[in-house]
Amino acid sequence: MNKRINQLRKVLTDKKLDGVLITSRPNTLYLSGFPGSASTIFISHKRAIFLTDFRYIEFSKKRCGNDYEVMLYEKNPLVFLLEQIKNDKISKIGFEDQIVSYASYLEISEQLDGIELIGLKDEITKLRLVKENGEIKTLQKAVDIADQAFTHILKYIKVGISEIDIAAEIEHFMRKNGAEKQSFDSIVASGKRSSLPHGHATDKLIEPGDGITMDFGAIYNGYCSDMTRTVFIGKPEQKILDIYATVFKAQTIAEDAVHSGKTGMEIDKIARDIIYDAGYEGMFGHGLGHGVGIEVHEEPRLSTTGNIVLENGMVVTVEPGIYAPNYGGVRIEDMVVVNDDLPKVLTSSKKELIIL
């Protein structure tokens, strides 16, 4: 954590700020390791203050005490903070203007009266772009839990159970096998509903010949995983098999191209060209992928507008899909670590055609 605090202090120097206020959970978790909800961080050139309430004070001292002055506030953390720094010659403070709501900004401005607030845009989240080795190991554990859940669910799926049954079984399995919770509400969409990219599970029953798209992930030690597989139960139609083959080709070729030095839009174009050239233009409407870490959707984006140049240690998804309205769809998704010209695929679940 001391390394991360010093990286943030360099931002203070570059921006000519006296300190920075961190209130969003993803950034307080990244900078302190504290996973709870009540956390406010203030970092200046000389001090690092962690504020929490009575519920978490004992835990916070154990988790953050080596890197922060851990303090207990009773009512308003900002009023308490102002009291703590009144003698520190603080006049300019950076804040997370891309995260903080307007209402929260007004509250901060009122509570920190006399201090100029400077928006930091993405300067803090940029610190999280390249993952450290320890973060990648944690992400791998989150991926492993989801992979195990996929292996388990293949034995569970049968004609007559509902999409909700499948989603609940996946989530229950992940919790029993080390996940804090799921990364997001699990997506299970079968038959014609699989044409919905974010088709949340319903009471629809699985029927013979259905394709079943499952998109889910686990959170482990604060870090997320994200994977998608489409499987079939009974003999599918040739049309959907052709769609599957195209998505598989686009996914594997684009994944192999995840190299440092390329932009997200360059990788996206590889998959998009394959899908469009196969006659499915207009049926792949989302980006190819996104960063994953403390949040399940982070930078960099692999999309038509993704202009961040990939660097070693960034972790992204590669998830092309084809969605034929009122017919069905296919998506395949892995998590990948950028590693020069040899991308490391974290997801190990089989993605070749599976017919149950």
Domain boundary assignment for the chain: 2-128, 133-345
Residues 6+ apart with CB under 8 A from 11: 17, 20, 94, 120, 123, 124, 127
Mean pLDDT of the residues in the chain: 96
Could you tell me which residues are beta bridge partners of residue 41? 22, 50
- Phi, psi (degrees; rounded to nearest 5) at 223: -115, 145
Per-residue model confidence (pLDDT) at position 312: 98
Residues of the chain predicted below pLDDT 50: none
Q: Examine residue 343 and say whether the peptide bond preceding it is cis (omega within 30 degrees of 0).
A: no
- Is-contact 237 354, C-beta < 8 A? no
CATH of 2-128, one of 3.40.350.10, 3.40.50.970, 3.40.50.1220, 3.60.40.10: 3.40.350.10
DSSP single-letter state for residue 129: S
Contact assessment for residue 139 and residue 218, using Cβ atoms and an 8 Å cutoff: no
Token pair recorded at residue 298: 């982070």
**CA-to-CA distance for 260 and 24, rounded, in angstroms?**
29
Q: If you search the block for the tokens 């990648």, which residue do you land on?
A: 136
- The reported pLDDT for the residue numbered 71 is 95
Q: How far is CA 190 from CA 156, 323, 324, in A?
A: 15, 12, 13
The pLDDT assigned to 114 comes to 86
- Specify the amino acid at residue 68: Y
Fold designation for 133-345: Creatine Amidinohydrolase (3.90.230)
Equal fold, 2-128 vs 133-345: no
- Is-contact 163 170, C-beta < 8 A? no
Q: Are 42 and 10 in contact (CB under 8 A)?
A: no
DSSP state of 195: G
pTM over 0.85: yes
Q: Of 299, 10, 258, which Cα lies nearest the Cα of 130?
A: 299
pLDDT in tens, 68-77: 999 999 988 9
